[in-house]
């Protein structure tokens, strides 16, 4: 991982793989629950990940607000990510270097 706190391309790939594994509805791909998370990953990355997130991006006119799905797998992954990120930053760690193994 870089000296700067943030995600490597491998970290982003791992998180996108988690999303891909659990998209129950076609509408998930254009929901701002998922797209907000993908945008956050790109912001938090310390490496260029535009090639990784390109396939997840959709035109603004195709996006829709949260449909209120319960459960919402993309929102669950996003909130887990934010909890871990905030915890790691509070403890001075370089966050999310091994997302799957931390609790």
| 39 token code pair | 């945008």
11-20 in b/e burial notation, b at 16+ Cβ within 10 A?
Answer: bbeebbebbe
pLDDT the model gives residue 13? 94
Burial class (CB in 10 A: 0-12, 13-18, 19+), 3: exposed
Contact (CB, 8 A) for 13 and 52: yes
Whether residue 101 has pLDDT greater than 60: no
Question: What is this structure's pTM?
Answer: 0.80
Per cent of the chain over pLDDT 90 is 41
Residue-wise pLDDT tens digits, 41-74: 999 999 999 999 999 999 999 999 988 888 888 8
Instruction: Return the domain boundaries, the chain.
Output: 9-90
């Amino acid at each position: 991982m870089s000296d700067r706190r943030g995600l490597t391309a491998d970290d982003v790939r791992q998180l996108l793989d988690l999303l891909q594994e659990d998209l129950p509805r076609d509408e998930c791909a254009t929901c701002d629950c998922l797209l907000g998370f993908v945008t956050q990953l790109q912001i938090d990355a310390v490496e260029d990940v535009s090639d990784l997130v390109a396939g997840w991006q959709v035109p603004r006119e195709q996006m829709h607000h949260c449909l209120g799905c319960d459960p919402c797998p993309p929102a669950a992954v996003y909130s887990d990510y934010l909890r871990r990120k905030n915890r790691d930053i509070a403890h001075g760690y370089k966050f999310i270097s091994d997302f799957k193994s931390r609790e």
